[in-house]
Structure 1
Amino acid sequence: MTNLCPSSKHPIDQDERVLYVSYDGMLEPLGQSQVLAYLKQLSASRTMHLISYEKRADWADAVRRQGTQRELAACGVHWHPLRYHKSPSTLATAWDIMIGTGLGLFLVMRHRLFIVHARSYVAAVIALVLKLVTGARFIFDMRGLWADERVDGGLWRREARIFRVAKWFERQFLSHADHVVSLTHAGEQELRRFPYLARRSPAITVIPTCADLDRFRPLPSIPREFALGYVGSAGTWYDFDAAVACFAAMRAADPTARFLIVNRGEHDYIRDRLAAAGLPLSCVELRSASHEDMPSQMSRIRAGVFFVKPVYSKQASAPTKLGELLGCGIPCLSNQGVGDMARILEEDRVGVAVASFERSAIDEGLQRLLRLLQERDIGLRCRDAAQRRFALEEGVARYAAVYRSVSASLHQNRRIHERQP
């Protein structure tokens, strides 16, 4: 975990007092990379309060917990961690929302917080209540089409009542939000097609999942001993069998090729799929790694591979690993139909996006990837693409612009009310 906060001091803008609500924990890798990395910089010039939900196992790690507390305090972020409850699922989530709403009301009123920034849908329920009760401005940071993701992932049925309820809430979030953040331009375009937003469409800013490119960078001292690498989840949204088939085709052409897989919690499933493909474990290194260790693990591979199921909801998704891999100078083989990913890979010539998971498409994509790897400037091209599209500093600047825009609208409304008799 990095302990660095912005060194430059800026005057605190008292009109940009922000309550940030995340249902993801700050002790998880996702919270570390996609929440804390932003807030530590955004807190340099505004008051930031943070509500997060921490899982029991993460909270039990006293070293990490205390380190995160010190880090946030040093950056001026006021952290209010709550306990995450998992089961029974619906009741546990309702309980978490109730507790978070009560705490949020206290913080907004006690500290006169003018902006509530909600990360994803559960947090947005809390933010919507706070807006309706206190008049605080509401930023809906969507992170994707969550309700549709539950259907596409086989967790809900589209005709189920819970899906209809979730879509009703989504409509309320989008209709009441003062600003919406989308991960992708494809997602923004889909939102603008929603009929109920035809008359009143909120301001939308596209901010992809950025990477700390000071950490995710090429490390020449680490040899690239693996021809192919796979990092992150292997289930639900990912077609891991296609990634295994890709490596099997590579190994058929080069029996010395090795495969690095970095994953948490799915090792039995991964071993099963490797065995089903007839790949010996001797050519694969399967391991876990902390978020802090990911740049050094990525630097061990020549190319990354991952295939995301191109379902409806994924047009609003942006895999975090893409920016991190490119930042490390690593080209990627992936697929079309997922957010802006195919356009980035193909336009910037930093990877290949296949049209399907058919064996012929994967084989053709692998051959294109191998040709890219022969280009001498491929690493520099990947790094350049990451800096242009996924730099954390650019993401922070866009969030700061959103805060300024919302604050300006608040000022405008105040002036209108002041002029009224």
Structure 2
Amino acid sequence: MKILYIAYENVFSTGILQAQVITQFEFINRKYNVSYDLISTLKVEESKDPLYIKNRNETFDRVGAFVNIHEFSKTVSKTQSVISFIIDSFKILRSSLYLAKEVDIIHARSYGGGMLAYVLSSILRKPFIFDMRGILPEETVQVGKIKNGSFKYKLLKFCERLLINKASSVFTVSNNFSSYLLSNFSIEKNKIFNISNPTVYDNSVSLNKRTDIVNFLYSGSCQEWHCPKETLLLFNQLRKKYRDKVFLRICSADDEKFIKLADEVGLPKDSFSISRVPFIEMKDVYKEAHIGFCFRRKGLTSLVSCPVKFAEYISSGIYVVSNKGVSDFDVLYRDNPGVGLIYDELSDNMDTRDLELYVDKILSGGVDFKALHIPEFDWDYMSEQVYKQYKKILGADL
């Protein structure tokens, strides 16, 4: 079996795409000998980024035997130019036609990849998967790139409905996301598949962590909806009590924004660090972390989401601090008491008593750090489910 995987974004610049695209390829190829053609896009400024170069070289070494990588230039600006997208898409389509002829299924990540897959599917009569990842129209409004009800918003909603209707299968990342589709679109339940956002469970990795200091972790951008201010304020409350017994590591490309925010909330410079970490090195960061922050601003985009870091945290013995109204967390925290601490609401002055109890337990040596195994967050299990979806689309025996 051969898959054409289309990502209208740079697969090699962020850990999220490395974890959710490349790792998926590795598991499915190892188990079922599936090969891939991967389409990835690249902005000019990204091509000189040392992190991109390191990730790309490392990825090629790992998967080059069964993944053919095809990169195309991308000129879409911060204003989300429709004309730029059309020009870029035409260049990609022209080359992708030859690739798509030789594959069994087109697997498209998000909306840009979805539109390319739809055109290729219409021309070549190949089945395609719309792997949504999120609800792009609402997300684009949330970050201020377009306005609700604008022409671009309505165009995105039109494309969204078209792709959902025409795809052979629609992938979501949470049960809440699947429910949203069933409530708002004319789609059958058996056409929806929740891929979650799995990770690799490595039983060979020791989870022996230090008990003389508690390392907190924030991994992600400084976007307002990630709640970075609430995170730093909460950590600062703990720092005032525990002093040098707690430390916050921030893994992000938004170093200047975090430095400014830390100054605003009065967080001492020696109580945290900020760095960009290549995907392959994140496992070393997780080994050292005890508690990970995973806050999200409440709203529809958070409710249907599934933060990639969640699976990576629980598989590394990290206690996850989050809030209700995010993904399926209300149910996950209820059914898996060892996950961590979930707040009902976020504020600038949150109650730290329950969190302090866990910090005290770590410092007293009373925590047995273990990976919390939830099958739908394990690539070993979920790769089998993805392959079943491929077989189902092709009408083959499972």
1:352 to 322, 341, 345: 341
Question: Which residue of structure 2 aligns with residue 148 of structure 1?
Answer: 138
Is the aligned partner of 1:398 residue 2:385? Answer: yes
Matches within 5 A, 1:266-305: 266-305=254-293
Taking the aligned partners of 1:304 and 1:201, their CA distance within structure 2 comes to 34
Is the aligned partner of 1:37 residue 2:23? Answer: yes
For 1:356, the aligned partner's letter is: E
Taking the aligned partners of 2:191 and 2:365, their CA distance within structure 1 comes to 41
1:110-129 CA distance string (max 9 Å, x none): x2x23111011100001111
Matches within 5 A, 1:22-421: 22-28=7-13, 29-44=15-30, 45-60=33-48, 64-74=55-65, 76-87=66-77, 89-90=80-81, 91-109=83-101, 111=102, 113-197=103-187, 203-214=191-202, 217-220=205-208, 225-349=213-337, 350-359=339-348, 361-363=350-352, 366-367=355-356, 369-370=358-359, 376=366, 379-380=369-370, 383-385=371-373, 387-408=374-395
Deviation at 1:233, TM superposition (A): 1.5
Taking the aligned partners of 1:287 and 1:171, their CA distance within structure 2 comes to 39
Is the aligned partner of 1:19 residue 2:10? Answer: no
Secondary structure in 2 matching 1:256: helix
Deviation at 1:257, TM superposition (A): 3.3
Deviation at 1:368, TM superposition (A): 6.2
Taking the aligned partners of 1:79 and 1:48, their CA distance within structure 2 comes to 8
Deviation at 1:201, TM superposition (A): 5.5
Deviation at 1:281, TM superposition (A): 0.6
For 2:62, the aligned partner's letter is: E
Change (3 A) 1:66 1:254: closer
- The answer to whether the 8 Å contact 2:80/2:145 transfers is no
Taking the aligned partners of 2:336 and 2:294, their CA distance within structure 1 comes to 18
- The answer to whether the 8 Å contact 1:187/1:315 transfers is yes
Secondary structure in 2 matching 1:193: helix
Secondary structure in 2 matching 1:384: coil
Taking the aligned partners of 1:221 and 1:356, their CA distance within structure 2 comes to 30
Deviation at 1:250, TM superposition (A): 0.8
1:283-319 CA distance string (max 9 Å, x none): 2222222112212122222211231111112222111
1:208-258 CA distance string (max 9 Å, x none): 111122299544377774442212222143111110111111122222333
For 1:95, the aligned partner's letter is: I
Taking the aligned partners of 2:367 and 2:244, their CA distance within structure 1 comes to 25
TM-score, length basis structure 1: 0.84
Gaps of 5+ in 1: 1-15, 412-421
For 1:237, the aligned partner's letter is: W
For 1:105, the aligned partner's letter is: L
- The answer to whether the 8 Å contact 2:211/2:365 transfers is no
1:373-410 CA distance string (max 9 Å, x none): 57946522xx133x53411112211110110100117x
Taking the aligned partners of 2:300 and 2:321, their CA distance within structure 1 comes to 21
Change (3 A) 1:288 1:216: farther
1:139-167 CA distance string (max 9 Å, x none): 11110111111122332211211111100
Superposed CA RMSD in Å reads 2.6
For 1:43, the aligned partner's letter is: N
Taking the aligned partners of 1:194 and 1:53, their CA distance within structure 2 comes to 31
Taking the aligned partners of 1:358 and 1:276, their CA distance within structure 2 comes to 16
For 1:72, the aligned partner's letter is: V
For 2:142, the aligned partner's letter is: D
Secondary structure in 2 matching 1:393: helix
Taking the aligned partners of 2:104 and 2:280, their CA distance within structure 1 comes to 34
Taking the aligned partners of 1:287 and 1:47, their CA distance within structure 2 comes to 34
Change (3 A) 1:154 1:378: farther
Change (3 A) 1:231 1:353: same
Taking the aligned partners of 2:219 and 2:199, their CA distance within structure 1 comes to 15
Taking the aligned partners of 1:164 and 1:50, their CA distance within structure 2 comes to 30
State the aligned residue count.
387
Secondary structure in 1 matching 2:202: coil
Identify the range of structure 1 (19-28 vs 49-58) with the bigger mean alpha-carbon deviation: 49-58
- The answer to whether the 8 Å contact 1:331/1:379 transfers is no
For 1:133, the aligned partner's letter is: I
